[in-house]
Amino acid sequence: MFFRMIRGTLFRQWKKMIMIAFTIALGASLATAMLSVMLDVGDKVNQELKTYGANITVIPKETSVLSELYELEGDNSAKAYLKEDELGKIKTIFWAFNIVDYAPFVNVTATLDNSDEVTVYGSWFNHHMELPTGEQLDAGITSMRSWWEITEGSWLDESRSSGNNEAMVGKAFAEKENISVGDKIHLIGSKGDSDFTVVGIFDAGGTEDDYIFAQLNEVQELGGLDGCIDSIEVSAITTPDNELAEKAAKDPSSLTVSQYETWYCTAYVSSICYQIQEVITDSVASPVRQVADSEGAILEKTQLLMILITILSLIGASLGICNLVTASVMERSSEIGLMKAIGAQNSSVSGLVLTEIFITAILGGIGGFFAGLGFAQIIGHSVFGSSITMRPMVIPIVAVLVVIVTLIGSIPAIRMLLRLRPTEVLHGR
Amino acid sequence: MSLLELKNVSKIYGELHALDNVSLKVEKGEWVSIMGPSGSGKSTMMNIIGCMDKPTKGEVLLDGVDISKESSKNLTTIRRDKIGLIFQQFHLVNYLTALENVMLAQYYHSIPDEKEAMEALERVGLADRAKHLPSQLSGGEQQRVCVARALINHPEIILADEPTGNLDEANEKVVVDLFHKLHDEGTTLVVVTHDPEVAEVAQRMIVLRSGRLSKEVVNRNFTGKIKLEDNN
């Protein structure tokens, strides 16, 4: 009997039920899309933020102390180096998955055949790494200097140029020395010399336009600096700093045990720096504050925006359901009054109406969920240029949200139903 | 003990006395009609007797239980177990068949029993229309379904509110004949009506005016098998 009545209502009021299902579908689709994007946005924003460059620089402790004492910058007189063989350890820290890219640098001063001096930087371009965790990573300046405009030729490709002594030169240097792609440059370093083939000319819009960039090991050979690096630039996803992070950045030892654990287990730029220092011997990792702050803030604001859109869409859906269900109950007031008159308790009638609404909500929710997955892909492709990975946890979250929205939307109608007295609707006068 | 007894019952809305100190007794198996002009308090009395409203003052004893002091949940239970309601507008659920409409009352009472519901429809002469929707039935047929629904749970008393108000003369006769049949079977009937012809066929007619019981007429020509003396 119960199901006959449910079926009867669903078929008899199909237009209203479709409207309710549609409203729920709309809310569910937006919630699904926003949650899917929100849960995947970290990775997507990571990719986007890689174009901002590094937000952490790591230099030898000795260089750092001297720089602070004497405000030396770019001075090679106090030379200390980091160890190249420790680079892989950066991807073993607690926040390894937040490290999205990094590149080591070593620089030497070399002389050209015409006796002009030039600074040559050795670095990774698209250095392929297979980490002990099984993760594979292509790190280097190809992605960390994505704002470089390649005016001629192309990016140096490590997989192709290994052992070929290829180099990229800055636009200013190329113009000064009248160099084109394909030309060979003979560089004489303090400990060796080599011929480099120019594969690309870049416009960085700064001092880098005066330099030559080549692969790390080839530049190390020029300067006799095997296994040595000057600095590491790290691009990491961070959480915006708060008071705790600022306190820790000044002196981690001033934290209590619980504060220390909270700080260490949160992706503050200072805690990531601290963890890098733990794995790179005699190093000082410091944040490039503006970049680090803006990255965290962008991610946080993007997620906040999506949460707001989700909440607003669910409030909208709830209001829509509220109107539709109330209208439905009003339309059926004589039927509900009759049920009460012939012995139905409030709980039975409420149960009947809620079951009808929830069946409709489930159908609307399922439709909305799949529509939301579609919306998420549209957002993914139009905003991030790639598809959004659906996280399984979206399903229970959306299901709970649909239930909550449906319940909240049904409250006014159920209150009205409970207050409805058979005498008010049955006499027809 | 009377099946139904109203003792000095009043229903007051602000300054309006919809019922004003009314006392009434209905014996088991009796057929009473309640007449009166609009606003005389007929519907108020019907609502109170039917456990759908409570009096402001006085006592209403149904089968010995004072229903004026019961909670609305208990009133629903009493209504379900002891009262069968018949309405002027029929109030059939339009997406359920005649049979399902009868079973609906069973569903809220106990367990739907299709065979028993069919027997109730047979009693009102509608067995062949059991699978029809209300929209496929005439007014008289719909009212007979309503009667079958009122009967299905074997109530102590049947309350009919203007049962012939929406019917033509032929269907009115069918329903009145049905009431005769029910009364002959021992069913207690309280019929609220405007129609003197319907009121006068009852054993006893009560006339309400301005919420007060103004007249009580015993039908000496009552044609039913059960006479007032039998009730008493």
Note whether A9 contacts B: Cβ–Cβ < 8 A.
Answer: yes
pLDDT confidence bin for A298, thresholds 50/70/90 = confident
Alpha helices (H) in A236-332, listed in sequence order: 243-250, 257-264, 269-279, 289-331
Residue whose token pair is 């009352």: B105
Q: What is the pLDDT of residue A231?
A: 92
Query: Which ipTM score applies to this complex?
Result: 0.85
Whether residues A248 and A280 fall in one domain: yes
At B70, phi and psi to the nearest 5?
A: -80, 155
Where among A234, A252, A287 does a domain terminate? A287
* Residues of chain B with C-beta less than 8 angstroms from the C-beta of A428: 87-89
Does any domain span residue B196?
yes
Which residue of chain B is at minimal alpha-carbon distance from A428? B89
- Measure in Å the smallest separation between the Cα of B47 and chain A Cα atoms: 7
Average pLDDT, integer, range B91-119? 88
Q: Which of A345, A427, A429 sits opposite B73 (nearest CB)?
A: A345
Task: Report residue A50 as tokens.
Answer: 């890689």
Specify the pLDDT at position A67: 60
Q: For position A87, what pLDDT does the model report? A: 87
Q: What is the pLDDT of residue B96?
A: 87
Q: Which residues contact A371 (CB under 8 A, 6 or more apart)?
A: A25, A28, A29, A32
Task: Measure A335 CA to nearest chain B CA, in Å.
Answer: 6
Q: What is the pLDDT of residue A210?
A: 92
Whether A198 shows a pLDDT value over 90: the answer reads yes
Question: CB–CB of A426 and B87 under 8 A?
Answer: yes
Count of domains observed in chain B? 1
Q: Which of helix, strand or coil describes residue A73?
A: coil
What is the pLDDT averaged over residues A50-75?
A: 68
Contacts of A342 in chain B (CB under 8 A): 79-80, 85, 104-105, 108-109, 149
What's the mean pLDDT in A346-354? 89
Q: Do B76 and A4 touch (CB under 8 A)?
A: no
Contacts of B117 in chain A (CB under 8 A): none
Lowest-confidence pick of A295-309, A348-362, B6-20, B95-109: A295-309
Cβ contacts of residue A97 below 8 Å, gap of 6+? none
Please tell me if residue A333 touches chain B, with a CB cutoff of 8 Å: no
Cα–Cα distance for residue pair B229/B127, rounded to 1 Å = 35
**Cβ of B154: how many Cβ atoms within 10 Å?**
12
Is A18 in the B-facing interface, judged by CB distances under 8 Å?
A: no
Q: State the average pLDDT for chain A.
A: 84
Measured between CB atoms, does B16 come within 8 Å of chain A? no
In a domain, residue A91? The reply is yes
Tell whether A327 is covered by a domain. Answer: yes
Q: What is the pLDDT of residue A75?
A: 47
Q: Is A241 helix (H, G, I), strand (E, B) or coil?
A: coil
Same domain? For A259 and A342 the reply is no
B136 part of a folded domain: yes
**Could you tell me which of A239, A234, A263, A240 has the C-alpha nearest to residue A251?**
A263
**Average pLDDT in the A232-255 region?**
81
In a domain, B106, yes or no: yes
d(CA A399, nearest CA chain B) in Å? 31
Could you tell me if residue A101 is inside a domain?
yes
Min Cα separation B221/chain A (Å): 31
In which domain, by residue range, is A417 found? 2-45+296-426
Pair A159, A88 in one domain: yes
Interface test with A, best of B87, B101, B131, B143 (most A CBs within 10 A): B87
Tally of CA atoms within 13 A in the half-sphere of A336 that contains its CB: 25
Q: A419 to chain B: nearest residue by CA?
A: B72
How many whole angstroms separate alpha carbon A346 and alpha carbon A365? Answer: 27
Asked if the C-beta of B109 comes within 8 angstroms of chain A's C-beta atoms, the answer is: yes
Examine the domain organization and report whether A164 and A224 are in the same domain.
Answer: yes
Pairs of CB atoms within 8 A across A/B: 77
Put simply, the answer to whether B107 touches A341 (Cβ < 8 Å) is no
B160 touches chain A (CB under 8 A): no
- As a whole number of angstroms, the distance between CA B29 and CA B31 comes to 7
Whether the CB of A347 is below 8 Å from some CB of chain B: the reply is: no
pLDDT of A73 strictly over 90: no
The alpha carbon of residue B220 is apart from the nearest alpha carbon of chain A, in Å, by 31
Name the residue with tokens 């409570």.
Answer: B54
- Could you tell me if residue B126 is inside a domain? yes
Give A5's contacts in chain B (Cβ within 8 Å). 93, 96, 104
Mean predicted confidence (pLDDT) in A36-44: 75
CATH number for the domain spanning B45: value is 3.40.50.300
Can you tell me the distance from the alpha carbon of A325 to that of A341, in angstroms, rounded to the nearest whole number? 22
Does the beta-carbon distance from A426 to B149 stay under 8 Å? no
Q: Does A94 reside within a domain?
A: yes
Question: Which residue in A has a C-alpha nearest to residue B110's C-alpha?
Answer: A343
Greater pLDDT, A179 or B90: A179
Same domain (yes/no): A338, A388: yes
* pLDDT digits 0-9 by tens, A118-136: 999 999 998 888 877 777 7
Chain B residues close to A339, C-beta within 8 Å: 104, 108
> Does residue A50 form part of some domain?
no
Asked, for residue B186, whether it belongs to a domain, the answer is yes
CA distances from B162 to A62, A72, A407 (A): 103, 104, 40
- Written as one string, the DSSP assignment of chain B is --SEEEEEEEEEETTEEEEEEEEEEE-TT-EEEEE--TTSSHHHHHHHHTTSS--SEEEEEETTEEGGGS-HHHHHHHHHHHEEEE-TT----TTS-HHHHHHHHHHHHS---HHHHHHHHHHTT-GGGTT--GGGS-HHHHHHHHHHHHHTT--SEEEEESTTTT--HHHHHHHHHHHHHHHHTT-EEEEE-S-HHHHHTSSEEEEEETTEEEEEEE-TT--SSS-HHHH-
Q: Which residues of A touch B51 (CB under 8 A)?
A: none
Residue B5 lies in a domain: no
For residue A74, what pLDDT is reported?
47
* pLDDT(B228) > 60: no
Contact B93 A11 (CB under 8 A): no
**Nearest residue of chain A to residue B53 (CA atoms):** A423
In tens, the pLDDT along A386-428 reads 788 888 888 999 999 989 988 998 999 899 888 888 887 776 5
Task: Please judge whether B85 and A342 are an interchain contact, meaning their C-beta atoms are less than 8 angstroms apart.
Answer: yes
Considering the domain architecture, whether residues A278 and A335 belong to the same structural domain is answered as: no
Tens digit of each residue's pLDDT (9 = 90 or more) over A139-179: 899 888 888 899 999 999 888 866 778 999 999 999 998 99
Residue A151: predicted pLDDT = 92
Least confident window among A74-83, A312-321, A380-389, B28-37: A74-83
Indicate whether A232 pLDDT > 60.
yes
pLDDT tens across B141-184, in order?
888 899 889 888 888 899 998 888 877 787 788 788 888 888 88
**What's the Cα-to-Cα distance from A51 to each of A44, A376, B63, rounded to whole Å?**
12, 23, 86
Query: Domain boundary residue among A287, A315, A333?
Result: A287
* Residue A330 sits in the same domain as residue A375: yes
B17, β-bridge pairs: B12
Domain count, chain A: 2
Q: Which of A248, A267, A287 is the C-terminal boundary of a domain?
A: A287
B100/A341 touch (CB, cutoff 8 Å), yes or no = no
Q: Which domain, by its residues, includes B198?
A: 27-55+65-231
Q: Average pLDDT for residues A185-199, to the nearest whole number?
A: 89
Q: Does residue A356 share a domain with residue A319?
A: yes
- Tell if the CB–CB gap between B105 and A5 is shorter than 8 Å: no
Option in B47, B76, B96 nearest A345 (CB): B76
Residue B232's pLDDT is: 47
pTM to 2 decimal places? 0.63
User: Is there a contact between A342 and B103 if contact means CB atoms under 8 Å apart?
Assistant: no
Which pLDDT does position A40 carry in this prediction? 79
What pLDDT band is residue A295 in, cutting at 50, 70 and 90?
A: low
Residue A398 lies in a domain: yes
- Asked if A348 reaches chain B (Cβ–Cβ under 8 Å), the answer is yes
Residues A248, A387, single domain; the answer is: no
The answer, for B149 touching chain A at a CB cutoff of 8 Å, is yes
Q: Is the pLDDT of residue A107 over 50?
A: yes
Give yes or no: residues A75 and A93 share one domain: yes
Q: Is residue A106 part of a domain?
A: yes
Is residue A307 domain-shared with residue A357, that is, in the same domain? yes
Give the nearest chain B residue to A349 (CA atoms): B108
Contact yes or no for A299/A41 (Cβ under 8 A): yes
Distances (CA, A) of A22 to A100, A353, A360, A409: 41, 18, 9, 14
CB proximity A267 to B under 8 Å: no
**Which pLDDT does position A254 carry in this prediction?**
84
Same domain assignment for residues A276 and A301 = no
Decide if B6 is inside a domain: no
